[in-house]
């Protein structure tokens, strides 16, 4: 089987936004406690941060981390997590039914983010709280000095403000499961009021209004339209959240999950633009895809709800397969393809909870299969995204209609001359030879590196015992002849090919 495309250096979609490679740390299960933070671990530093997890976070290439939730944030009192640890209250955590010790809070997160070399993205609680809480936490994190909360931060050891620019106005407020769930009208008014207040405090902030928790929500579309009718002028982004899993052994549909992501993004862009048109606004609202991943949510939902109140229980610690990694690589292709409007994104989550990094309390940390396509894409995608129109065979899927067998996107860094093609083959039995015509670049490009993630066993995983069972390996069949790249994409595979 064959597929082809012609790449044109002038057909630029948009610059690669570094914020595409965001991640997410929520107070959920073992993401914070025994994930990024575990005082007493042999590899913990003076702040109690696991240095093995920090090193893997940097290797993953994460650029930004959303914090502290997620569903958690809608019942959270940020003040519980500041000041002397012995005075911090233990609280019931209702979103995930556990006990929150508050040993880790905003100051610890800021210190950790500095060490991880990531930008902080902060979500405020618009579930049980509102405008005042958002202003207070902003004053604590961003106001330089001379006011009550700024001085409190300074007395807690952070002389300089944290300068957080990107703020989420609540989390998934369309979801009935969300503490303080609201109608679109109620939330739109609250988001707009909070945004206005935050802008009065600091005009340059970038603000994200909650969009839909998934494109399957009954209010999808009308939610975005109503919220933006209220908040269009005062927010910069609307969020999208999407999790994918293989349903009932339907691998073909699962492998085509990015078709759904494409459609989701394009629908939200169309909705936002139609509100903008009605408001006669010249401004464009971008998308913050601030939760996305493979998550075996139906497994989680079929479990008995927790009855114990425990600290950092093991919750949704999905173990990822080769097929999951191929889907994750493809979801990144979809995000990059939409770089003109998706300018921020967060894979959910970073450690242990539906995460590319796993860690054991007192034990090792390792890379799940999905770590690899993320790390390679974050490292290699530079410069601009090029429009990548493929001529590919298609196949029928039950969930997403007709899907192309090959999906791909290319990035081009004019300055250093790198051209990178990211591609997946969704076929379950046959390899595909992808031909990329590069004559519009002039000259004769040279193959610099090529990586493929695939395996005879599509269900293979990385475990504590075999942490490197699944890794990307040099692509077997990649070659350049004149101005033509040819690459053999094995069945169910993800590849990245860099040319110079
Ligand atoms: O990432 C796990 C959960 O998924 C988040 O807390 C919530 O926002 C979403 O439903």
Looking from the CA of residue 354, the nearest atom of ligand 1 is 1
Q: How many residues does the chain have?
A: 500
Helices 257-278 and 222-231: angle between axes, nearest 10 degrees: 40
Which pair of tokens denotes residue 81? Answer: 């997590």
| Protein residue with least CA distance to atom 7, ligand 1 | 70
Which residue's alpha carbon is nearest to atom 2 within ligand 1?
70
Residue at a domain's end among 348, 363, 380: 380
Q: What is the pLDDT of residues 71-124, one digit of tens each?
A: 999 999 999 999 999 999 999 999 999 999 999 999 999 999 999 999 999 999
Residue closest by Cα to atom 1 of ligand 1:
348
Query: Which residue, among 456, 449, 445, 454, has the nearest Cα to 478 in the 3D structure?
Result: 449
Q: State which ligand 1 atom lies nearest to the alpha carbon of 243.
A: 4
Query: What is the share, in percent, of the chain residues with pLDDT greater than 70?
Result: 100
Substitution site in 27, 70, 208, 296 for ligand 1 pocket (most atoms within 8 Å of beta carbon) = 70
Cβ count within 10 A of residue 202: 16
The reply to whether the predicted model has a pTM over 0.90 is yes
Q: Are residues 331 and 243 in the same domain?
A: yes
pLDDT in tens, 49-73: 999 999 999 999 999 999 999 999 9
Query: Is residue 69 within 8 Å of 32, Cβ to Cβ?
Result: no
140-151, pLDDT tens digit by residue?
999 999 999 999
Give the pair of three-digit tokens for residue 272: 């936002």
Query: What ipTM does this complex have?
Result: 0.99
Judgement on whether residues 346 and 407 belong to the same structural domain of the protein: no
Residues with catalytic function: 172, 291
CB 19, CB 66: distance < 8 Å:
no
E strand intervals along 218-283: 237-244
Contact 57/357 with Cβ under 8 angstroms?
yes
pLDDT of residue 276: 98
Q: Residue 28 C-alpha to ligand 1 middle, in angstroms?
A: 9
Question: What's the 96 CA to ligand 1 centre distance in angstroms?
Answer: 10
Q: What is the DSSP string of 19-58?
A: GGGEEE--SSTTSTBTTTB-TTSTTB-TTSBBHHHHHHHH
Which of 355, 380, 405 is a domain's end point? 380
Q: How far apart are CA 437 and CA 150, in angstroms?
A: 57
Alpha carbon of 65 to ligand 1 centroid (Å): 14
Joined tokens for residue 416: 């250093």
Distance CA 2, CA 452 (A): 17
* 103 lies in the same domain as 26: yes
List the residue whose alpha carbon is closest to atom 4 of ligand 1.
70
pLDDT tens by residue, 155-168: 999 999 999 999 99
The pLDDT tens digits for 314-339 are 999 999 999 999 999 999 999 999 99
Tokens 């933070």 -> residue: 37
Distance 477 CA to ligand 1 centre (A): 40
Protein residues whose CB sits closer than 6 Å to any atom of ligand 1: 26, 28, 69-71, 171-172, 213, 291, 348-349
Are residues 254 and 354 both part of a single domain?
yes
For residue 418, give both structure tokens. 């790198």
CA atoms within 13 A on the CB side of 3: 25
What's the CA-to-centroid distance between 281 and ligand 1, angstroms?
32
Q: pLDDT at residue 306 above 90?
A: no
Question: Which protein residue has the closest C-alpha to ligand 1 atom 6?
Answer: 70
Q: Copy the structure tokens of residue 83.
A: 């000041």
Closest atom of ligand 1 relative to the 95 alpha carbon: 6
Taking 90 as the threshold, does the pLDDT of residue 384 lie above it? Answer: yes
Range of the domain at 398: 2-9+386-499
Q: Which atom number of ligand 1 is nearest to the Cα of residue 171?
A: 8
| CATH for 493 | 2.60.40.1180
460 with 469: CB under 8 angstroms?
yes
Q: Could you tell which of 26, 72, 168 is best to mutate to test the pocket of ligand 1, judged by most ligand atoms within 8 Å of the CB?
A: 26
Q: Are residues 309 and 412 in the same domain?
A: no
Helices H, strands E: what count in the chain?
A: 11, 26
Token reading at 331: 């979801």
End-to-end CA gap in the chain: 27
Contact residues for 213 (Cβ-Cβ < 8 A; gap 6+) = 172, 174, 175, 241
Task: Assess whether 150 and 268 both reside in one domain.
Answer: yes
pLDDT of residue 36: 98
From the CA of 126, how far away is ligand 1's center (Å)? 15
Closest CA relative to residue 162, chosen from 173, 153, 172: 153
Q: What's the structural domain count of the chain?
A: 2
Testing ligand 1's pocket by substitution, the residue of 241, 294, 315, 317 carrying the most ligand atoms inside 8 A of its CB is 241
Taking the mean position of all CA atoms in its chain, how far away is CA 228?
22
Q: From CA 239, how far away is CA 169, in angstroms rounded?
A: 10
Same domain, residue pair 408 and 466 = yes
Distance of CA 98 to the CA centre of its chain: 24
Give the atom of ligand 1 at the shortest distance from the alpha carbon of 72.
6
Q: Whose alpha carbon is nearest atom 8 of ligand 1? A: 70
Query: Is a pLDDT exceeding 90 seen at residue 443?
Result: no
Write down the pLDDT at residue 305: 86
Q: What is the pLDDT of residues 260-286, one digit of tens each?
A: 999 999 999 999 999 999 999 999 999
Q: Are 117 and 247 members of one domain?
A: yes
Same domain, 278 and 251: yes
Q: At what angle do helices 371-380 and 51-60 cross, to 10 degrees?
A: 60
Same domain, residue pair 201 and 149: yes
Label the pairing between strands 406-413 and 384-386.
antiparallel
Q: Quick one: 472 and 396 in the same domain?
A: yes
Nearest CA to ligand 1 atom 5: 70
* Measured CA distances, 7 to 17, 372, 387 (Å): 20, 25, 8
Distance CA 26, CA 30 (A): 9
Q: Whose CA is nearest to atom 3 of ligand 1?
A: 70
Residue 308 tokens read as 């114990």
Q: Which atom of ligand 1 is nearest to the CA of 71?
A: 6
- Asked if residues 94 and 75 have their Cβ atoms less than 8 Å apart, the reply is yes
- Average pLDDT in the chain: 97
pLDDT tens figures, 168-220: 999 999 999 999 999 999 999 999 999 999 999 999 999 999 999 999 999 99
The domain boundary, picked from 380, 397, 429, lies at 380
Helix axes 131-142, 184-201, angle to 10 degrees: 30
Distance, in Å, from the CA atom of 155 to the CA atom of 248, rounded to the nearest integer, reads 55
Ligand 1 centroid–CA 349 distance in Å is: 9
Residue 469: the pLDDT is 98
Q: Can you point out the beta strands (E) in 245-285? A: none
Is the C-alpha dihedral spanning 243, 249, 250, 256 positive or negative? positive
Kindly give the distance from the C-alpha atom of residue 361 to the centroid of ligand 1, in angstroms, as a whole number: 23
Atom of ligand 1 nearest to the CA of 172: 8
C-beta of residue 49 within 8 angstroms of C-beta of residue 112: yes
Q: What is the DSSP letter of 469?
A: S
Q: Which two tokens stand for residue 121?
A: 């993205």
Same domain, 405 and 335: no
Residue 268: give its domain's CATH number: 3.20.20.80
């Amino acid at each position: 089987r064959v597929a082809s495309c012609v790449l044109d250096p002038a057909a630029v979609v948009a610059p690669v936004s570094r914020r595409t490679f965001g991640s997410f740390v929520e107070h959920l299960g073992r993401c914070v406690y025994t994930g990024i933070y575990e005082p007493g671990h042999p590899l913990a530093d003076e702040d109690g941060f696991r240095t093995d997890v920090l090193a893997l976070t940097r290797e993953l290439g994460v650029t930004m981390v959303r914090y502290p939730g997620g569903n958690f944030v809608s019942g959270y009192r940020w003040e519980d997590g500041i000041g002397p640890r012995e005075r911090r209250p233990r609280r019931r955590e209702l979103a995930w039914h556990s006990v929150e010790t508050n040993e880790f809070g905003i100051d610890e997160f800021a210190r950790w983010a500095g060490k991880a070399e990531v930008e902080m993205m902060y979500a405020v609680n618009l579930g049980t709280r509102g405008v005042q809480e958002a202003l207070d936490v902003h004053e604590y994190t961003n106001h330089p000095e001379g006011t009550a909360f700024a001085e409190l931060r300074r007395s807690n050891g952070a002389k300089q403000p944290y300068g957080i620019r990107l703020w989420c106005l609540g989390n998934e407020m369309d979801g009935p499961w969300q503490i303080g769930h609201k109608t679109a009208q109620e939330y739109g008014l609250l988001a707009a009021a909070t945004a206005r207040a935050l802008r009065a405090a600091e005009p340059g902030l970038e603000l994200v209004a909650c969009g839909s928790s998934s494109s399957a929500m009954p209010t999808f579309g009308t939610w975005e339209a109503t919220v933006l009718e209220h908040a269009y002028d005062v927010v910069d982004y609307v969020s999208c959240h999407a999790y994918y899993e293989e349903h009932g052994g339907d691998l073909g549909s699962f492998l085509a999950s990015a078709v759904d992501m494409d459609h989701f993004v394009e629908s939200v862009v169309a909705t936002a633009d139609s509100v903008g048109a009605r408001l006669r606004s010249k401004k464009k609202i971008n998308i913050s895809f601030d939760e996305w991943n493979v998550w075996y949510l139906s497994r989680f939902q079929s479990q008995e709800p927790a009855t114990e109140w425990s600290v950092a229980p093991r919750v949704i610690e999905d173990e990822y397969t080769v097929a999951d990694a191929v889907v994750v690589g493809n979801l990144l292709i979809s995000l990059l393809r939409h770089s003109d409007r998706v300018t921020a994104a967060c894979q959910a989550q970073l450690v242990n909870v539906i995460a590319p990094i796993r860690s054991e309390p007192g034990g090792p940390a390792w890379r799940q299969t999905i770590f690899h396509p993320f790390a390679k894409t974050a490292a290699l995608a530079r410069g601009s995204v090029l429009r990548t129109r493929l001529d590919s065979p298609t196949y029928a899927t039950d969930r997403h209609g007709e899907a192309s067998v090959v999906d791909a996107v290319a990035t081009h860094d004019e300055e250093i001359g790198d051209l990178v093609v990211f591609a997946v083959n969704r076929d379950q039995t046959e390899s595909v030879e992808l031909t990329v015509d590069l004559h519009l670049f002039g000259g004769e490009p040279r193959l610099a590196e090529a990586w493929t993630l695939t395996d005879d066993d599509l269900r293979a995983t990385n475990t504590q015992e075999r942490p490197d069972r699944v890794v990307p390996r040099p692509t077997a069949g990649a070659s350049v002849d004149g101005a033509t790249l040819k690459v053999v994409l094995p069945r169910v595979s993800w590849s990245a090919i860099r040319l110079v």
